[in-house]
Structure 1
């Protein structure tokens, strides 16, 4: 998992509430268990017209938001089914941070396990961030995980809370497997001691 330290990017505004995981990655894209290639299906019902061409009105298709790696979203983002393909699709598209007032619990947890930072802010802070994001390519936002701050294009700063363990994992690029591998020496020592003490086991 890639480390998350500091991220500076244009932020794409998606002022929709109750964006569920089926809207993030529709069911027809769930036939794979690979984490790559899902970016093409991200928000596909919003991104594409019936003929398969890009919908010019959708925020991620607009030239000023091309390459955005921060998404500013409405309340209750990631609700609906528990599909882990939702954060996979966001990450494959290039989204590393989602900011909202609230997230569905399973989606929120899955983000951390896949290197995406979900940030909870107040309604007033979200409104200010939407205002910043509406300025397009002229408004870049910086997210600093170490200092737990979001800095807007005019220098204003918003602080955010995050669980200390999850922060440690993101800063060091540790998913569940990575956390286990950190303890490889201790695991090997235990196995060696067990083999010596119980050779019949």
Structure 2
């Protein structure tokens, strides 16, 4: 996993609450266990009509929003099933951070484990960022994990809070497997002690 320091780029405004993981990556795109090839399926039900043609009224198909780096969304973003593909689809589409009022808990954890930064801000601050993105298509913001702040297109800075341990793992680019490997020797010693002291458990 690559270290995450900041994301800087165009905002993709998702002006809807309770966007679930089936919306983020519809089931028909879940035909792979690989992380590649999921960009086309990102919000696929919204982006394409029943013939597979781009919907002209979908914000994701408007030229100003076609290469976003940051999603700004409302409440309960990423609710629903636990599919990890929902996180991968964001990343394949070029999204590096999400700013929302709240998240589905499993989606939030999957983001952290895959290096996609989920930031939580109060609803009134999210509303300002959303309005800027809609009134000024193509405008952006900066999500800075080092300073724990979101800076809008108007230069206003919004601080956010994040668990210290999870923040450091993202800054260092360390996932759960990397973290476990750091303690491989201690884990091995523990296993040997368990086998020696409690052989009936093996």
TM-score (norm 1): 0.89
Displacement of 1:181: 3.0
Q: Aligned with 2:146: secondary structure? A: coil
Structure 1: runs of 5+ lacking an equivalent: none
Displacement of 1:92: 1.3
Q: Aligned with 1:13: secondary structure? A: strand
Report the aligned-residue RMSD: 1.9
Deviations 1:156-197 (A, max 9, x none): 000001111110111111111121233456668x59xx6xxx
What are the equivalent positions in structure 2 for 1:25-40 lying under 5 Å apart? 25-40=25-40
Partner of 2:164: 164
Q: Aligned with 2:39: secondary structure? A: helix
Deviations 1:70-127 (A, max 9, x none): 0011211111111111111111111111111110110110100111011111111111
Mapped to 1, the partners of 2:94 and 2:173 lie a distance apart of 16
Aligned: 1:101 with 2:101: yes
Mapped to 2, the partners of 1:100 and 1:50 lie a distance apart of 29
Aligned: 1:82 with 2:86: no
Q: Aligned with 2:128: secondary structure? A: helix
Structure 2: runs of 5+ lacking an equivalent: none
Displacement of 1:8: 0.8
Deviations 1:109-154 (A, max 9, x none): 01001110111111111111111212122x2201110110001112
CA contact (8 A) 2:149 2:159 kept: yes
Deviations 1:38-85 (A, max 9, x none): 111111010112221222221221111121010011211111111111
| Number of aligned residue pairs | 193
Partner of 2:153: 153
Mapped to 1, the partners of 2:154 and 2:16 lie a distance apart of 25
TM-score (norm 2): 0.88
